[in-house]
Amino acid sequence: MKILVTGAAGFIGFHLSACLLARGDEVVGLDNLNGYYDVGLKKARLAQLQARPGFHFVHDDLINREAMAALFAENPFERVVHLAAQAGVRYSLENPHAYIESNITGFINILEGCRHNRVPHLLYASSSSVYGANSRLPFSVRDRVDQPLSLYAASKRANELMAHTYSHLFATPTTGLRFFTVYGPWGRPDMALFLFTRKILANEPIPVFNHGQHRRDFTYIDDIIEGVVRVLDHIPTPDQITNATDETEAAPAAPAHGIPYRLYNIGNNQPVPLLVYIQTLEEVLGKKAHIQWLPLQPGDVPDTYADISELEQAVGFRPNTTVREGIERFVAWYLDYYGQNRP
């Protein structure tokens, strides 16, 4: 198939593009290579993809309405995987306009491209952050999600609502995936594992917020990619029951018929205390961390825990990578990429 992957030079987009190429798909990878984090890392990912047959890179921005319309008109995409977004919870407190431009304006351009060119399936990235102040664990796609704690979370919930509207009005098949703390080789430098590894090796203190009382549903990248590919080929149809969220926090959501729209959690389904995560990293590195204890940051969610029962029922998704295995693979990549030796 010919597949558009937005954010192809990003962490998940890179791994997904490589997987799709390996199975024989043609991938058009879109990325604006912005400077939110190390552009050199993005270009290194991109270089690996460009060395593979079947990959075509488009250096442009989602918010360029004319360019996006032309991209869709010139390419008969059979699938679109929309992963590009302005990421980061804390950064949304500093630069809110970037989230509206990329995550809202950019997404409407993707929806319009899919609508006018009759793309058979749009799969887009949402986030566990949409659960916000929800205290019921594990997080279910039927839980209320009307209390976001950051503009990033609000923008991701807006994407879900926008997709629902297009599925309803134009019968555009859409599936949203709420990702839970993805980690692994080629990861983002602003994420905990990358940041902790760099600082531990440099003998710098690592910042641990909420005094280490977080729990996270850390999900290894290979498990994420397997789930994404399975869902990509599982096109929602109008006769399915959509899992619209429950705004009462009591009974399950009332089913809605006739809309080719789905939402799924995609996570490890096994939350890990942050301090256990750090301890495992220390063991793998063979070096103790110096911890800087800090309070809960604005926008942070104390715990995340994915109920993946609906995704498992739909496509048979079940992650199988332990946190220790995942950390070991990340550290091996990190030391190789940055040319460092173990302590």
Strand 122-127, strand 79-82: pairing: parallel
CB 324, CB 331: distance < 8 Å? no
Three-class DSSP category at 262: strand
Clarify whether 152 is annotated catalytic: yes
From 152, 166, 277, 305, active-site residue: 152
Three-class DSSP category at 127: strand
Query: In angstroms, rounded to a whole number, what is the distance separating the alpha carbons of residues 182 and 154?
Result: 19
CA distances from 177 to 77, 82, 197 (A): 20, 10, 28
Cβ neighbours for 279, distance < 8 A, ≥ 6 positions apart: none
CB 318, CB 266: distance < 8 Å? no
Summarize the chain as % helix, strand, coil (round to 5): 40, 15, 40
Residue with tokens 């839970």: 180
Catalytic machinery residues = 152
